[in-house]
Amino acid sequence: MAIDAASTVPTRDAIIAPQDGLSYVRGSRDIPLSDATIGAFLLDTARRFPDRPAVVFREQQIRWTWSEFAREVDVLAAGFVALGIRAGERVGIWSPNRVEWLLTQFATARIGAILVNINPAYRLAELEYALNKVGCTAIVTAHSFKTSMYVEMLQTLAPELADATPGDLHAARLPALRSVIRMCDTATPGMLTFSDVIEMGRAWLEQHGTEGLDAIAAPLDADDAVNIQFTSGTTGNPKGATLTHRNVVNNGRFIAMAMRLSEDDSLCIPVPLYHCFGMVLAVLACVSVGATMVFPGEAFDPRATLAAVEEERCTALHGVPTMFIAELDHPDFARFDLSRLRTGIMAGSPCPIETMKRVVANMNLSEITIAYGMTETSPVSFQSATTDPIDKRTTTVGRIQPHLEVKIVDPLGNVVPVGETGELCTKGYSVMRGYWGDDVKTAESIVDGWMHTGDLATIDASGYCNIVGRLKDMLIRGGENIYPREIEEFLFRHPKIQTVQVFGVPDPKYGEEVCAWIVLRPGEQASAEEIQTFCAGQIAHYKVPKHIRFVDELPMTVTGKIQKFVMRERMIAELRVNDQKTA
């Protein structure tokens, strides 16, 4: 039956408004935190909803109920045990959205191993760094994805595979790695196939039974590390945010509650599993209530997503803003029946207000929510509720999640008055254990329990949060602080603009000038002068973009996060200006 929203959604109003006129909020504690491990979390759902649909992978033509899914997880977990993987060891997963990814997520957690999410876009140097940084003893890999030849790259880094016994690799460049498990049945020297490990698991279970797995899981604790997710910084090597069972299980629970998700819902998941959006906001939210997980394909495709929503009768849809824009602007959009959609989440990067309005009006997502967070906070700390007024759900990221605290601070660490801009800091159960093997970076980011996000935000008198931008994105033109998000929101009103990104480029006179990269709607044409005229008299003159470029697409990560630093670097090269160093 459906969840009773009144009894399950935390009562927020009593404690979420800022206190004493300062930008500090604290979430409800009405609903206790869960002490479940991910393995126990899944088993509980399978016991409650054994015969209800759990998993649909449309490309792979796989459909499992919750009991079937839990059994498959146990088989793989047993296979890992038979392979010699123990609690605390790191297991990498390098793949697009496939059922093997989902099974590996839960099978590693079942036996206390730590899942290491490897970006599907990684190439040789990034892969080598990630595997060695955390000391992966095993990696589960697809054969390839788009132009990335995963098996070939692993063979390049570990030529010793050619003569290695599967499961007993000793490679000079990957010293910790012992097992390479590939996702197909083709035999490859030195590697195990996924089917090999499944057969090992079945044999292990015949001998030890699920009681053997239960005995391995018994000593596991909710505060044990269960997942390492590499954050994609703009400089330096990625940092491995280390998350616990308690971190992600509870975040998934509260995300589902904010959406009023239940076992009667079916969530379409086009976002990548390797990212916390797919793994926590989608998968663990569904597990928390027994909702069906529907995966349209290995990678995002707007038509495949729309088809999945219609054919699987989905009631919920997740996506980053660029995904929703691609769906709305697809030439066949009007042909799809989206009438069953109700809720979902738009997150992953700043959500344009105009896009939110279109999603509500044209996709039947009357109860869509916006979530805000970061990998290091498991990830969500603010989320709008389905019952929030429409203007709050389209213009803010909602209010504080349960069991968390947030403050907005100035550069000196002082909490700023309500409505003023400052850095958002988060404290509570969701804050990561730290960056794997990097105590210095951990200490820089977490101070007295507060995670310093680097995001600029405001909180209003009712506790609604608005993300203004990134500390590093803010530009200063002639002494004026300029927040790109404000200009982007204004430009989204232009009828010809599909999407836009604003950033600063060096300028010898003003220090920085405003630059806008614009993607126009299909069939439209515009000039820089037209855009500047549109801005004139509407926003302050110093905010009007001096440099405007029309592009077919914006550089972004595989998760849809815009890479402003790439745009900035290209403009610096084009304009032949120097990035001035300052004290």
Q: Is residue 296 part of a domain?
A: yes
User: Is 117 in the same domain as 9?
Assistant: no
Q: Is residue 416 part of a domain?
A: yes
**What is the residue-wise DSSP string for 268-305?**
E--S-TTSHIIIIIIIIHHHHHTPEEEE--SS--HHHH
First vs last Cα of the chain: how many Å apart?
Answer: 61
Among 221, 241, 268, residue at a domain's last position: 221
Q: Residue 489 class from Cβ within 10 Å (0-12 exposed, 13-18 middle, 19+ buried)?
A: middle
Residues 6+ apart with CB under 8 A from 147: none
> Whose CA is closest to 140, among 172, 175, 203, 184?
184
pLDDT value, residue 13? 44
Q: Is residue 266 part of a domain?
A: yes
User: Is 82 in the same domain as 194?
Assistant: yes
pLDDT value, residue 517? 98
pLDDT value, residue 531? 97
The structure's pTM equals: 0.86
Give the H/E segment covering residue 399.
strand 399-400
Q: Is 28 in contact with 429 (CB distance < 8 Å)?
A: no
Q: Is residue 582 part of a domain?
A: no
Distance CA 54, CA 69 (A): 7
Q: Is residue 580 part of a domain?
A: no
pLDDT value, residue 350? 73
User: Is 29 in the same domain as 47?
Assistant: no
Q: pLDDT tens string for the chain (583 positions)?
A: 333 333 333 344 436 889 899 999 999 999 999 999 999 999 999 999 999 999 999 999 999 999 999 999 999 999 999 999 999 999 999 999 999 999 999 999 999 999 999 988 888 988 999 999 999 999 999 999 988 899 999 999 999 999 999 999 999 999 999 999 999 888 999 999 999 999 999 999 999 999 999 999 999 999 999 999 998 654 467 899 999 999 999 999 999 999 999 999 999 999 999 999 999 999 999 999 999 999 999 999 999 999 999 999 999 999 988 899 999 999 999 999 999 999 999 997 778 888 899 999 999 999 999 999 999 999 999 999 999 988 898 889 999 999 999 999 999 999 999 999 999 999 999 999 999 999 999 999 999 999 999 988 999 999 999 988 777 788 878 777 788 888 998 999 999 999 999 999 998 877 889 999 999 999 999 999 999 999 998 888 889 999 999 999 999 877 677 889 899 999 999 999 886 542 2
User: Is 452 in the same domain as 499?
Assistant: no
Q: Is 99 in contact with 225 (CB distance < 8 Å)?
A: no
User: Is 266 in the same domain as 157?
Assistant: no
Distance CA 372, CA 374 (A): 7
pLDDT value, residue 137? 98
> Whose CA is closest to 465, among 410, 397, 408?
397
Q: Is residue 507 part of a domain?
A: yes
User: What are the C-alpha distances in Å from 328 to residues 321, 372, 398, 522?
Assistant: 11, 22, 24, 12
User: Is 185 in the same domain as 236?
Assistant: no
Give CA 526 to chain center in angstroms: 34
Among 180, 199, 221, residue at a domain's last position: 221
Q: What is the CATH number of the domain that holds 124?
A: 3.40.50.980
User: Is 481 in the same domain as 422?
Assistant: no
User: Is 368 in the same domain as 394?
Assistant: yes
Q: What is the CATH number of the domain that holds 410?
A: 3.40.50.12780
User: Is 355 in the same domain as 418?
Assistant: yes
User: Is 234 in the same domain as 330?
Assistant: yes
Summarised one tens digit per residue, pLDDT across range 441-464 is: 999 999 999 999 998 899 999 999
**Residues of the chain above pLDDT 70, percent:** 95
Count of domains in the chain? 3
DSSP lists the bridge partners of residue 458 as 466
Q: Is residue 58 part of a domain?
A: no
Summarised one tens digit per residue, pLDDT across range 254-276 is: 999 999 999 999 999 999 999 99
User: Is 264 in the same domain as 372?
Assistant: yes
pLDDT value, residue 11? 42
Radius of gyration of the chain (CA): 24
Q: What is the CATH number of the domain that holds 546?
A: 3.30.300.30
pLDDT value, residue 557? 79
Among 470, 498, 516, residue at a domain's last position: 470
- Residue 268: give the domain boundaries: 5-36+230-470
Q: Residue 119 class from Cβ within 10 Å (0-12 exposed, 13-18 middle, 19+ buried)?
A: buried
Summarised one tens digit per residue, pLDDT across range 136-190 is: 999 999 999 988 899 999 999 999 999 999 999 999 999 999 999 999 888 999 9
User: Is 486 in the same domain as 554?
Assistant: yes
> Whose CA is closest to 426, among 397, 442, 447?
447
pLDDT value, residue 77? 98
pLDDT value, residue 234? 44
Q: Is residue 59 part of a domain?
A: no
